[in-house]
Structure formats: structure tokens, C-alpha cells
Structure 1
Amino acid sequence: MMAGAVVFTVMLSYLVLLPNASNPAVEPQAQAVLLSAPETAEAFLDAVHLGDFTRAAALTDDPAGAAKVLGESTAGMAARGVAFVLDATAPAPDAVEAQQRWTTTWALGSGQSWSYPNAMALVRNGGTWVIRWSPAIVHPQLAPGLRLGYRQTQPGSVAVQDSAGRPMFAWSGTALVPVSEVPLDSAITTAIEAGARPVSAGTGQVVLVDAGGADVASLFGTPPQHPGPATASIDLDVQRAANAAVAGAQKPTLLVAIRPSTGGILAAVGGGSATAQTAFNGLYPPGSTFKVVTANAVLGAGRATPGSTVPCPGVVTVGTRTIRNAGFQLGEVPLRTAFAQSCNTTFAALAGDLPPSALTRSAGEFGLAADFDVPGLRTQTGRVTSADSPEEQAENSIGQGTVQVSPFGLALMSATVARGSAVTPFVVDGVPTEVDQGYQGPSAANVQALRSMMREVVTSGRATALTRYGASGKTGTAQYGDGSTAHGWFTGYRKDVAFAVLVEGAGSATPAVDVSGRFLAGLG
């Protein structure tokens, strides 16, 4: 055989048809042709290329050892393939030892190629040649007890964890795959994807690995960069409680929760035919939940305190608009009681004495005019414009008229009361929300007053079903369309969880209070 480069794509075994004594012309007999030193090397490399390590190892003087090292190193490389170019050299006819050289090229998982020269020794064994096995045949630096390994981002490595450090998503290539059993709405998933930090695999790194699995040397490439998993604001326990609270909803039901101390969005879910995205940018009349805003305006203007005695008649007329309570009248009661019992007539009358822009300014102190650009999440908190007439001011004061808010906006309102200052929402730690229009919270005195009034809603007002959960909040029933039906609301907070619940077309606040109860119960 002439010396020269040979790519191992030729036949590696041969059948020669020889004459037979009984039928010398036609009957075949298989007889293996003895392989030369270059052919033996070529057969070995081709078998390795095809992944047939048993066949390759059989050409060596240590079949068991060769098969083990070939299998372990090839598996450790997790390459897309390996190719060889043999520089075949024919030994002298009377030689008993020979050497063959070739170039190995691995196609790595990163898309790069790794090439290096190598050599093997062969010895004559009768009429054929046998490869003298050494791990260095795989790579010149591979010694007994070592194997090749490849380091890059591994599928399944944690990409995103929740606010408590529990895995939520893992990397699968460049895509995120959920690893938590808690379902997430696509709106939350999209926001998390926008904030997740991709792990850079560098070029990938080929290493020598010892028997204990430790890397002992680097042979090629650069190591992957591991910035660690991104941390989402979502709390899987809170999300689980939210999911359970809306499970089986017959009407569109929305729930969103925020951590007042940080602004992190803890959970969001849609039940019935609703999706969580609507909780963030769907606008609805807020009904009596807006009395938090009206009360703040009244307190700020010095028109009343929580203990001030105010009238709560069954009906009041403001201009040409007649405002009614939901079938009750209380007479003269403290403002806190009128708030807890959701007395429309009281707040419509009080708002009539305020400037047309008072409710707009007050709403702004709860973030209902704020504009946040949360990466990956479309949000709108609300739309509260100055009243054009006393009648509109009266309607706006009880969350009807032209006032519109999102469940996200009401959760932000409750979070502001709980925190005592402005809250900036976010979804992923370290991925800041751009505040296009921020806000300042209510005065400290007003915050304290609102906290006590919202607590009384639960202890002795319209949401006593929530008393055992230790929450504070405000109910709301908001008529819409022709006024024949209404949405049901509850917004509030407990400890460091603020939330809002909307049940579309519920007819009253009771279904929203029920959902809130299931949510709070799920929090433990």
C-alpha cells in the first residue's frame, strides 16, 4: 500500500470466492483477507466513527480495556460526531512493529470543531497486525483512569427560581421549560422569559475527567458561564393558592397579588373564560372599592375623619342624579361605619363638596394614573379623569361614572395602603421596571386612617366572611352596560400580600369575597 492520506470510507472486510474441489468454477467459499497495518488502523477508526466499540476494540491487544475507554470517552463528549483522516504508511515487509498517524476531528455540541493529531502503535501477530492499546489512542493526554468530558449548559439546569428559591423553569437549549407543578398563565410566563438570563455556553470546554468525576485538565475551548438562575417575583405557594381559588369558576374571574414591601408580582390567574393578561390591562368600573380613593380625598381635604359623624340616608340627590344604597339606610354614623357598610349616599354627598379634580389627584396617590413598563408584561392601572359635572363627580365617587381600573390597579392600591408609600411592580429581580409616570403615596396620617377603615370592612362590614383570615380590604359592586347587572370586587391585603379579585357579571361583591376567602385560606 502506498503512503498517503486515507479517509476511512472504504470496505473493511472482504469475501473472496475461491474454487471448490467439487465445483471448482462456481461454488464460493468465504475467506477473510488478512489486514495490513494501515488497513488495521483504518478498520479501527471506521468502527469508532460508527460507534461500534466492540469491533474496534477487537483489533487491539486489550479488547475489554479498549471498549471501556472508547465508550466512556465518547459518551462523555456528547458530540455530534467524530471523524478521522488517516495518513496511511506501509511498514517494511519484514517489520514486526509499525506506527500509523491520523487527525481526529470532533463535532462539538457548541457547533465548533476540535481537531488534533494522533498516532497508534501496531505489532505483527502472525500474518496480521494488532493495535497495541493505550488510552492515548483517544487523545495523546488521556492516561489510564481518565476519560474525556465536555462541559456546556446542560438541559435541565435551573434557569428561573421563584422568590423562595424553588425551581420554576429549566433550560432546554435556549428555551425555558417549566419544572414546577404549579401552572402559570402565559402572561406571567412571557414576562419571566423576558427577564431570564440566558446562560452563555462559551465555545464549550473539553476536559480530562478522573474516576471520581472531577475535571483535572482542560484540553480545548472555554468553559460555560453560569450567572445562576434568575429569580422571579412569583411565589409558587401564592400562585398555587390563587389557582385553587378560581378553580371551577363559572364566570370570568381574575386574581392578581403583589408583595407590598417589594412590588414583586406574586401571582396572577384567570378563571372561567378569563386570562391573567386581562387582570393587568383590562379596565372595569371599580364600584365601591373606589371609596378608598374617595375617602382619601375627603380625609386629605379635612372634610371628615374616620370618627366624624356623617349621614347615610337610603337615597341622596346630587344635581340631577339620584344615588341609592343597596336597600339600606344607617342614619347618622361614623365615617368608618359608612365606609365599612359601603354607604353610597355618604360618599356621593361628601365628594360633591370637593373640587372636580380631587378624585383624580387622590387616585394618583394610589398609582391609578401611573404608567409602568414591566418587561414582557402589558399593564394599565386605571383611568380617572376630572369630573365635568357634580353628577359625574357623585357617580365617580362610588366607582361608577367614567372611572375605570384594572384588577392590577386595585391590587396596587391595596399594596400602597399596606406599604404606606408608592409601590413599583416587577416580575424578575434585577430586571427593572421602567417608570414612565410614577406616583407618591397618600400622607402617613391618611394611610393609618385607611388601614383602620379597611380592617373594619372585614371585622364588622360587608366582608365579615373574611374575618378569620386577618385581612383588610374593601368590597365593590359595579354596574355596567344598561345597569341591569354588575361586577363583583374585593381588594385588600394581609401581611405582605396585597390582592384584588374581580368576578365579571357576579351581580354583587359576594362571589369575589368568596374567591378571596379561598385564596387567603390557601395561603395558610
Structure 2
Amino acid sequence: MTWRRWVLVGGALVVVGILVVAVVVLKSGSPDGTADTAASREQADVVARYLSAWSHADVKTASALTDDPPNAAEGLLKARTELGVDPAATVVKTAGKTANFRVSWTFAPGTVWTYDNSLSLVQAQGKWVVRWAPSVIHPQLFGGAVLRVLGHSGNAVLDRDGKPLLAWQADQPQAVDGNFAPILTPGLGRVATEKAAASKTVVIRIGEDDKVLFGRPAGPPLTSTLSSRVQAEAQTAVDGASFPAMLVAIQPSTGDILAVAQNAAAGPAPNALTGGYAPGSTFKMATATAVLERNAASSDTVLPCPGSVQIGQRNIPNDDNFSLPPLPLHSAFAHSCNTTFAQLASGLPADALVDAANQLGINADFTIPGIATEAGKVVAPANSAEQVEAAIGQGKVQTSPFGLTLAAATVAAGKAITPRLWHGLDTTINTPYQAPPDAVVGQLRSMMREVVTDGTATGLAGSGNVAGKTGTAQFGDGTQANGWFTGYRDDLAFSVLLLGSNSSKPAVSVAAAFLR
């Protein structure tokens, strides 16, 4: 800007012109007009580097950018250890030797503690550094105050009857009984930990007094659907098996998972929930569903049961090539006549077995908090050979003990089942299904009951009103086979799988031991 001033020099008036340049405005790069000098740039750089290092758990670098590295390192590390997570600290505004910033601690999705703070800069040995004080971590952290996270105590997870399964120890959920459901305990603990993180309570503690800064006290323990009694019986039953053994139990009326057990020989992987195995003749539940629903036969239709049958390029034998005189479909089901069901399946549409498997939940998919599950996989056969193999639970058909238990529970309930592991935490249905029509379900129940009263599972005849289906499924080069039993009694559905047993009889024995 130019302006004039008249002055008296030697008796004469002289005009003096002065040009003033608004240096502050032109050189200012900050919102409040602070000059963007080399010093201000260095100050802003120190603040940014300090907050970045703190946000990335780089305590060494962050503390080195302060005027008291030893105490800064101790304070930053203590806060990180106590809170259990790293902060996200971002600059809001830097004005010379003062910086405002925002801190966020994310304990769990949707559980974020956010607050604003400030820091000051001082010079030390010719460089700008953060003036250290505990209040740089939180504005109320001074005068001997310390940050604390209130720990969890008492029970973390209960069974359906209120019996403790996991308890808090050193803020970690630990199994009350170290032998309880080793397949499930890690998942139970993960869910308990996630829910505990969502109820973090951060306090400022001065002496004996606590002031809550964030959060709320932890809620009551989580309640699972598991039954300690049923789980113990399932584990005892599989532990008594001479082969790798698995057992899954579900309550049909609710979908509650009651027990998941494997013996040591079955290994630590949760194959009872996710393993894919040929179901053998247990899959005749699906084949019978397809036959009945498509009106290919009724349960009373008399059909042949030869020792073997040639269908296209595939020879289908009965177990040990047994043969029976022509008999009703329900009896062929009870005695597990492969040849009867293979012949029926050869006349069905290509999608019939897939549709039936869908109706029993074998192709359903769920997300259950704490565990992964895989019910099974049944796809449309590419040719007639695959069709007849699928009809007797061989070829490309796969199920898990979990998936077959879901199928048995569907028959018992007469409706689609949503399996769940928690009371109060929902299961997400990714691939839904719809149960077979009531008329079909009614015939299936009768046929499955006959398996126990007059068929391949008479070893369960003294175990109450049990209904089910046996299965023997070859694997590998065909010289070995797994043994199955799946079924239900009253409001209890279950499946037993014995690997390499070469017969379904050991699976029936394990089922009997479980039901006792």
C-alpha cells in the first residue's frame, strides 16, 4: 500500500512516499496467520512425526522427540500396555509452539474412545521437541493420576443351564474345565473377548478413587446353547471308540447346538463341524425325499433288491452283495438296499437329489459367532454314473457330521433349522433352505424309525424312541470305509462318524453309549 506524508524540511513542504508490503499475509501458510518460517515448519514437522510414531507403537521414536525420553518412553508404553491397543493421533491445528490434536483408541468395532488434547514444544540442544508430561497422553493425566482399564472378573461364558464354562483370569477367558469341548472352547473365548472389548471401561485413578473417562461396566456373562451334561456324554462316547470318532448334537425344536465332540484320534481340527466326508447310505434320507416328492414311489411301493445292479457303466452292489426278495420302499430303506435306491435315482431328473439335499439343509450355510461350519456340498450330477453314485452317498457328495445332524434335526422338527451356539447372539443365515413337505417328512420319520426297529440299527432298539439311518462310505482307493449313524430321539438330533471303521455297527454302538 502507498501513502503520503507532508513534512517540513528547511522551511519547505516535501511529500515522502512509502511502500509497505504485507509480508505477514503473503508468507503466512497457517490459518491463524502465523508466519511460515523455517522454525514454524520445523515445529509442525516435530508434531507430525511425534504423533505418527505414537500412533504406530514406535515408542522409541516418539520418546526421542521429547525433552524427557526416559519418562516419555515409560509413560507411552504404560498407556499402550494398559489400554491394550494403539492410538490413532492426528493433528488438528499447529500454531507455533502449541499443537492441538485428536486421539482415538479403538477397542473393538464401534467401540472407540476419542478426545482432544494439546502439547507444547520447547527447544533442547537447538532443536524443537515435545515438552513431555503425562498430560500429553490425556489432558487429565497429571498429579499422580494413572490410566486404568477395569478388568473383567467372574464368569465369562455359561452353558444353557447356567453352569460356568469359561471364567475371567488375568482379563482372559479360561476354561473352567480344561477337558470341556476342546473343539469349541477357543471360539467361545474369542466371542467373550470381543464382547468384553466392546464394554471397555477406562478410568483415571488417583489413589483409591476412579473417575470413568470412557465405557461402561461389563455386562453379565454370555450364555451358550451347550449342555455340559450332553457334551460330557458325547465326549465319553467318542472316547470309548476304537477309531477316530466325532459326534454332533443339536436340539431340533430350537436349533441349539448341544455338543460337539471328537476323540484324540480324530485330531485337533474341528472336522465334526467342517470336514467333508462321503455320507454313504445316510444320504438315502435325501434320495428317499427326492423319490417321495417326485412321486417316483411311495413308502409302500414294492421294489426289487438284487445283490448288485448294472446301471450304465456303473455296477452298484449292496453291502457284501446281500439280496432280498422284492420289498416295500420303507423296508429297502431300513435294510439299506443300495440297488433299490440306485435304480430309483436313475429315473429321477438331474436336479432331484440336489433339491432334496437343499430341503434337508445339507447345502445350507450359516455364520455362527465363534465357530466355522460347513454342512456339505451336493451338486447336480454330470451324468448317470454320478447320479447313481450320489443316490447312495458316494461320488462327489460330501457332508460333515454337523450337516447330517442338521438334516436329522430337520426331519425331527419338520421345519428348517437355524443352528445357534448362543442365547442372545444371532446366527446369520447365508444360504437358507426350506424343509420337505409335511407328507414327505411324515414318511421319512416312519422309515427312519424302522431302521432301528427292524433294520441296520437294531443295536439302538433299547435306547428309546430312536429314528435314524446308518451309512458306510468308501474313501481313498475303496478298500476302506467310514461308518455313520445319524438320527434323533425326541428333541435330540445327533450324528456319529467313525473314520476307517469299515462298518456302521461301531457308529451305532457309539450312538447307543451316547444315548445311555
TM-score normalized by structure 2? 0.67
Residue correspondence of structure 1 range 205-284 to structure 2 within 5 A? 220-222=210-212, 225-274=217-266, 275=268, 277-284=270-277
* 1:410-460 residue CA offsets vs partner (Å, 9 max, x unmatched): 111111111111111121222222222111111111111111111110111
In the alignment, what sits opposite 2:13?
none
1:418 aligns with 2:418: no
Give the distance between the partners of 2:485 and 2:204, measured in 1 at CA. 55
Partner of 2:505: 510
Does residue 164 of structure 1 match 2:154?
no
Structure 1 residue 296 displacement after superposition: 0.2
CA contact 1:269–1:276 (8 Å) conserved in 2? no
Note the C-alpha offset of 1:152.
Answer: 5.4
Whether the 8 Å contact between 2:241 and 2:510 is mirrored in structure 1 is no
Which residue pairs with 1:430 in the alignment?
424
Per the alignment, residue 173 of structure 2 pairs with: 176
Contact 2:175 2:185 in 1 (8 A): no
Give me the identity figure in percent. 45
Amino acid at match of 1:238: V
4+ long deviations beyond 4 Å = 112-117, 150-154, 203-207
Letter of the structure 2 residue corresponding to residue 501 of structure 1: V
Shift in Å, 1:490: 0.5
Output the amino acid matched with 1:289.
Answer: T
**How many residues are treated as equivalent by the alignment?**
367
Q: Is the 8 A contact 1:233 1:426 kept in 2?
A: yes
Aligned counterpart, 1:453:
447
SS in 2 for 1:251: coil
1:323-334 superposed matches below 5 A? 323-326=316-319, 327-334=321-328
* 1:398 equivalent among 392, 402, 424: 392
- Offset, 1:263: 1.5
User: What is the CA-CA distance between 1:162 and the residue it aligns to?
Assistant: 0.4
Gap runs ≥5 in structure 1? 1-111, 118-149, 208-217
Q: Which residue of 2 aligns with 1:346?
A: 340
Amino acid at match of 2:304: P
Task: Check whether the contact 1:284–1:404 (CA below 8 A) recurs between aligned residues.
Answer: yes
Q: For 2:330, give the aligned amino acid.
A: R
Larger Rg: 1
Q: 1-side partners of 2:316 and 2:442: how far apart?
A: 29
Distance 2:257 2:313 in 1: 42
Task: State whether structure 2 residue 311 is matched by structure 1 residue 318.
Answer: yes
1:74 matched residue in structure 2: none
Which of 287, 291, 309 is equivalent to 1:298?
291
The answer (yes or no) to whether the contact 1:152–1:224 under 8 Å persists in 2 is: no
Secondary structure of the residue that 2:349 maps to in structure 1? coil
CA deviation string 1:260-307 (max 9, x = no partner): 122121111111421361111111111000000000000000111212
- Give 1:370 shift: 1.3
SS state of the match for residue 487, structure 1?
Answer: strand
Q: Work out which of the residue numbers 278, 290, 298 in structure 2 matches 1:285.
A: 278
**C-alpha deviation, 1:154, in angstroms:** 5.7
The secondary structure found in structure 1 opposite 2:160 is coil
Match of 1:202 in 2: 201
Deviates more, 1:193-202 or 1:444-453: 193-202
Which SS does the other structure have where 1:284 is aligned? Answer: coil
Task: Kindly indicate whether the alpha-carbon contact (under 8 Å) linking 1:205 and 1:224 is maintained by their aligned counterparts in 2.
Answer: no
Q: Give the unaligned 5+ runs of structure 2.
A: 1-139
CA-based RMSD of the aligned residues comes to 2.5
Q: Which sits farther off after the overlay, 448-457 or 191-200?
A: 191-200
Shift of 1:153: 4.9
CA contact (8 A) 1:195 1:431 kept: no
Question: What letter matches 1:270 in structure 2?
Answer: Q
Shift of 1:163: 1.0
Distance 1:472 1:276, change over 3 A: farther
Partner of 2:401: 407
Q: 1:10: which partner in 2? A: none
User: Using a 3 Å threshold, how does the CA distance of structure 1 residues 350 and 116 change in structure 2: closer, same or farther?
Assistant: closer
1:497 to 492, 496, 503: 492
Structure-2 change in CA distance of 1:224 and 1:385 (3 Å)? closer
* Conservation of the 8 A alpha-carbon contact between 1:152 and 1:205: no
